[in-house]
């Protein structure tokens, strides 16, 4: 029986019981799947607008191309594949996204309070205006990501790869960027007040009107 032929209640029961893992393109808009063990479930391309996954284990799950607009994913294990997913306004607070694939994902307006993102892949992701204050982003892949107007105050970006990223008017005050790669990045109008920049690669970066007061530029290959 196809997913389309099942009633929503029966489909949810099958998902929660773990009887089946393959549900690409399924429509679960505004449904509740809280506190569930959904490891390695395939929800690629699914309609998950407003779906509640609070405190669910989604390790190894597939959400590539899924629409998770406004979804509730806080406190969950989200070490999963979100390639190209729409996570606009989704609640990811206190979620575990270590090593998650978020390449090309749209996270504009998402809640990322106390999220774990160490080692995650966010190249090409849209993080416009997101609040990542104090978040651990060590070694993260943010190549070509859009971080315009993002709040990264006090964030740890040690050894992060931000090559070609756009950080126009981003707040990087007191951020730790030691050893980070910012080559070709757009930092125009960014606030780098008292940021740690030792060993940063800023070759070809745009620092027009950026605030670099109180920064350490020792060993940084600036233009």
192 within 8 A of 170, measured Cβ to Cβ = no
Q: State the number of CA atoms in the 13 A half-sphere of 67 facing the CB.
A: 10
pLDDT score recorded for residue 73: 97
The 3 state secondary structure assigned to 20-89 is: CCECCCCECCCCECCCCECCCCECCCCECCCCECCCCECCCCECCCCECCCCECCCCECCCECCCCECCC
**CB contact at 8 A, 110 and 128:** no
Query: What pLDDT sits at residue 219?
Result: 41
Query: How many residues in the chain?
Result: 223
pLDDT above 70 (res 114): yes
Domains located in the chain, CATH noted? 1-85 (2.160.20.80), 122-223 (2.160.20.80)
Sign of CA dihedral 67, 116, 132, 158: negative
Look over the chain and give the mean of its residue pLDDT values, rounded to a whole number. Answer: 93
Tokens of residue 178, six digits: 């030691």
* DSSP E strands, 72-189: none
pLDDT of 136 higher than 60: yes
Q: What is the pLDDT of residue 83?
A: 98
pTM (global) more than 0.85: yes
- Collapsed DSSP state (helix, strand, coil) of residue 165: coil
Per DSSP, what are the bridge partners of residue 106? 86, 126
Q: What b/e string do you get for 137-158 counting C-beta neighbours within 10 Å, with b at 16 or more?
A: bbbbbbbbbbbbbbbbbbbbbb
Confidence tier at 6 by pLDDT (50, 70, 90): low
pLDDT(217) > 90: no
Q: Which tens digit of pLDDT belongs to each residue from 153-211?
A: 999 999 999 999 999 999 999 999 999 999 999 999 999 999 999 999 999 999 999 99
pLDDT computed for residue 8 by the predictor: 85
């Amino acid at each position: 029986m196809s997913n389309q032929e099942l009633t929503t209640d029966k489909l949810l029961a099958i998902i929660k019981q773990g009887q089946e893992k393959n549900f690409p393109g399924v429509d679960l808009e505004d449904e509740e799947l809280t506190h569930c063990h959904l490891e390695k479930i395939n929800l690629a391309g699914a309609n998950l607008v407003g779906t509640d996954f609070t405190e669910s284990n989604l390790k190894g799950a597939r959400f590539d191309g899924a629409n998770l607009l406004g979804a509730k994913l806080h406190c969950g294990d989200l070490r999963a594949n979100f390639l190209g997913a729409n996570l606009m306004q989704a609640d990811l607070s206190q979620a575990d996204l270590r090593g998650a694939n978020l390449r090309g994902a749209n996270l504009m307006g998402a809640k990322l309070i106390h999220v774990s993102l160490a080692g995650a892949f966010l190249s090409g992701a849209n993080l416009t205006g997101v609040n990542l204050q104090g978040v651990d982003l060590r070694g993260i892949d943010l190549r070509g990501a859009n971080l315009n107007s993002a709040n990264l105050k006090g964030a740890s970006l040690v050894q992060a790869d931000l090559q070609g990223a756009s950080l126009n008017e981003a707040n990087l005050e007191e951020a730790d960027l030691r050893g980070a790669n910012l080559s070709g990045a757009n930092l125009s109008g960014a606030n780098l007040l008292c940021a740690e920049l030792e060993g940063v690669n800023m070759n070809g970066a745009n620092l027009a009107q950026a605030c670099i007061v109180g920064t350490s530029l020792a060993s940084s290959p600036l233009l």
